């Protein structure tokens, strides 16, 4: 089984709809991240969480919210989806610390299309 | 603000060639640098992680170097194979987050 899983893998929705993307991990890591990837722009950080009670905004958090339900689960919500949120979304995890244990591991991604 | 640049954006080589992918970053205050591979429609696979105190890391046919003072890293792929075809991303770790480059798309022809 994959260490970092994301559901759904693909989603097509309409403008104005509320969407939730879910991420689960079995790596036992305390840190989790949500990124989006757009062609030509690379991956950009949306939100991150260093433990269950910690939520931090990334560089492009507007229009998104997150919930850290447990150490292993981190959900991303689009309260009212708009077409420019069409992108590939990735969840990632890492162990705590700034030394050798902070390699990030990524899920397979969710392709979201907002019509 | 940290900026990460990868050159070239795309590269096409025949099988068997040795090749170098480049990554540069503007702020040398980094904790580490990570190289990833991304296959179409798939997630990112971590290839190598170099800590800021290290100069290089090796894994099989891959060797990554880091020159923090000049803001540069290279990924060397020896004896390239068609299965190496993918997009290669570098990312530098600053305080609390990774900053990614836009990647080099590699095509290795049989």
Q: Is the pLDDT of residue A95 over 70?
A: yes
Q: Is the pLDDT of residue A80 over 80?
A: yes
Res. A100 pLDDT band, cuts 50 70 90: very low
Q: What is the pLDDT of residues B53-104, one digit of tens each?
A: 999 999 999 999 999 999 999 999 999 999 999 999 999 988 767 899 999 9
Between positions 50 and 79 of A, the ones with CB within 8 A of B are: 50, 56, 58
Distance CA B3, CA B83 (A): 30
Q: What is the pLDDT of residue A97?
A: 63
| Burial bucket for residue A13 (CB in 10 Å: 0-12, 13-18, 19+) | middle
Give the Å distances, CA to CA, from A64 to A24, A36, A43: 18, 11, 16
Cis peptide before A8 (omega within 30 of 0): yes
Inter-chain touch B89–A105, beta carbons under 8 Å:
no
Q: Is the pLDDT of residue B1 over 90?
A: no
Q: What is the pLDDT of residue A101?
A: 47
Inter-chain touch A105–B46, beta carbons under 8 Å:
yes
By the 8 A CB rule, do A75 and A69 touch? yes
Distance from CA of B25 to the nearest CA of A (A): 14
Q: What is the pLDDT of residues A57-78, one digit of tens each?
A: 998 999 999 999 899 999 999 9
Between positions 1 and 40 of B, the ones with CB within 8 A of A are: 4, 31-32, 34, 36
Q: In which element (H, E) is residue B108 found?
A: strand B104-109
CA torsion, points A91, A103, A69, A17, in degrees to nearest 10?
-10
Instruction: Answer positive or negative: Cα dihedral of A52, A53, A57, A61.
Output: positive
Inter-chain touch A42–B42, beta carbons under 8 Å:
no
Percent of chain B residues past pLDDT 70, beyond the cut = 99
Q: What is the pLDDT of residue A99?
A: 52
Distance CA A67, CA A74 (A): 6
Kindly state whether B49 is in contact with chain A, defined as any CB-CB distance less than 8 angstroms. Answer: yes
Distance from CA of B15 to the nearest CA of A (A): 27
Write out chain A in H/E/C secondary structure: CCCEEEECCEEEECCCCCEEEEEEECCCCCEEEEEEEECCCEEEEEEEECCCCCCEECCCCCCEEEEEEECCEEEEEECCCCHHHCEEEEEEEECCCCCCCCCCEECCCEEEEEC
Q: What is the pLDDT of residue A40?
A: 79
Q: Which of A100, A104, A111 sits opposite B98 (nearest CB)?
A: A104
Better pLDDT: B13 or A39: B13
Over residues A26-34, the mean pLDDT reads: 93
A47 HSE (CA, 13 A, CB side): 20
For chains A and B, CB pairs below 8 A equal 52
Inter-chain touch B43–A90, beta carbons under 8 Å:
yes
Inter-chain touch A102–B36, beta carbons under 8 Å:
no
Q: Which of B41, B49, B101 sits opposite A103 (nearest CB)?
A: B49
Name, in order, each residue with C-beta under 8 angstroms of B77's C-beta and a sequence gap of 6 or more.
Answer: B18, B19, B20, B21, B61, B62, B84, B106
Give the nearest chain B residue to A39 (CA atoms): B102
């Amino acid at each position: 089984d994959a260490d970092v899983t994301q559901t759904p893998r693909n989603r097509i929705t309409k403008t104005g709809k509320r969407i939730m993307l879910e991420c689960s991990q079995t790596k036992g890591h305390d840190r989790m991240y949500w990124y989006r990837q757009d062609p030509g722009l690379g991956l950009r950080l949306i939100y991150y969480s260093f433990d269950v009670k910690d939520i931090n905004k990334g560089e492009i958090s507007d229009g998104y919210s997150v919930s850290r339900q447990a150490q292993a689960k981190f959900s991303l919500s689009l309260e009212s989806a708009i077409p420019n949120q069409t992108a590939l979304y990735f969840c990632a995890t890492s162990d705590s610390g700034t030394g050798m244990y902070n390699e990030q591991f990524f899920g397979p991604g969710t392709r979201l299309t907002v019509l | 603000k940290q900026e990460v640049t990868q050159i070239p954006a795309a590269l096409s080589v025949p099988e068997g060639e040795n090749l170098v992918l480049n990554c540069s970053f503007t702020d040398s205050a980094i904790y580490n640098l990570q190289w990833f591979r991304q296959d179409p429609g798939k997630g990112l696979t971590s290839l190598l992680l170099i800590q800021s105190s290290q100069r290089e890391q090796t894994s099989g046919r891959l060797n990554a170097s880091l020159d923090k003072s000049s803001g540069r890293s290279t990924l060397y792929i020896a004896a390239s194979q068609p299965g190496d075809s993918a997009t290669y991303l570098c990312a530098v770790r600053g305080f609390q987050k990774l900053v990614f480059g836009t990647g080099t798309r590699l095509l290795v022809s049989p």
